Structure 1
Amino acid sequence: MKLLKNISALLLLTFIGINAANAQSTSKDRKAARALAIKNMVEAQNYVFKANYVTPMRGAGRSLTSDYDLAVSKDTIAAFLPYFGRAYTAPYNPTEGGIKFTNTHFTYTSKAGKKGGWSVTIKPTGKDKNISDWRDVQTLRLDISADGYASLQVTSSNRDPISFNGTIEKRVK
């Protein structure tokens, strides 16, 4: 009887160990697949940064409850982001607040990071005829982790810098 209990306990522990090992390998497989998908999106310049938290230079950070994003493709960047902070000049159109523009003339540089992430720098060149498309944004810098989390720093010539945290997602055309 004692032998039966020992065998049952051993089988139970073996079963639990096998299930835990399978769960870990499945988790690692999902993480590797996500990292590969992020890598492909960054290299193809085809993704959307979805902002969920903002940190202005002055004042406290806050969670964002609406959809704000930066869409990146090979030929266009489109920003729809809020702005909290000091602006040194008034906008051309007072009904348009935030960081909102679409630009087809920009430089895009990406570097692989040490831990599998990427550092992406986007600089609008301002060659578009409509100056309100790029306004005063000088640099957009994205630091992207292999897991798909990212931070975006926006540097402007007429506003204080601002940072956003969020995720990288597949761009739907």
Structure 2
Amino acid sequence: MKSLKKISILLVLAFISLNVAYAQTTRKDKKAAHVAEIKSMVEAQNYIFNANYVIPSRGASMSLTSNYDLVVSKDTIIAFLPYFGRSYAAPYNPTEGGIKFTNTHFTYNSKAGKKGGWTVTIKPIGKDKNVSDWRDVQSMMLSISSDGYASLQVISSNRTPISFNGTIEARKK
């Protein structure tokens, strides 16, 4: 009887240890696959930055309750982001507040970080340097972690800088 109990206890322990080892391997594999997916999106210039927290230069930081994003593709960037801060010039169209534009003329530079993330700099270029084409945005700098978390800093010529925290996800086709 005692040997039967010992055998059954050993079998249960072996079963538990195999499950734990399998779960750890599965987690590592999933994380590695996620990191590879983020890397391929950044290198292919094909992703969406979903903003969920805003950090203005002045005033309080706050969570965003609506959907705001920056869509990046090889040929187009589409910004739909809120703006909280000081503006030094009135907007061209008062009904369009925030940082909202679509631009097909921009530079995109990505650089791998030391700890596995990326720093992406996007500089919109207006046709013939016309300010109204790109809504005074000078540059956008994305700091992307290998886990898919990111922060975006927007530098404008007529507004104080603003930052956003959020996540990176694949664009839906």
Cα distance in structure 2, aligned partners of 1:106 and 1:15: 56
RMSD: 1.4
Residue of structure 1 equivalent to 2:55: 55
Say yes or no: does 1:135 pair with 2:135. Answer: yes
Residue of structure 2 equivalent to 1:26: 26
1:5 aligned counterpart, secondary structure: helix
Residue of structure 2 equivalent to 1:163: 163
Shift of 1:127: 2.1
Say yes or no: does 1:76 pair with 2:51. Answer: no
Q: How many residues align?
A: 173
Shift of 1:58: 1.0
Structure 1: gaps (5+ residues):
none
- After TM superposition, the structure 1 = structure 2 runs for residues 106-117 of structure 1, keeping only pairs within 5 Å, are 106-117=106-117
Point out the more displaced range, 9-18 or 162-171: 9-18
Shift of 1:130: 6.4
Residue of structure 1 equivalent to 2:153: 153
Cα distance in structure 1, aligned partners of 2:135 and 2:142: 19
Instruction: Tell me if the contact between 1:104 and 1:128 (Cα under 8 Å) persists in the aligned partners.
Output: no
Identity %: 76
Deviation per residue, 1:69-105 (Å, 9 max, x gap): 0011111111000001111111011111000011111
Q: Give TM-score, length-normalised by structure 1.
A: 0.94
Letter of the 1:76 partner, please give it.
Answer: T
Structure 2: gaps (5+ residues):
none
Cα distance in structure 2, aligned partners of 1:29 and 1:17: 18
Q: Give TM-score, length-normalised by structure 2.
A: 0.94
Shift of 1:3: 2.4
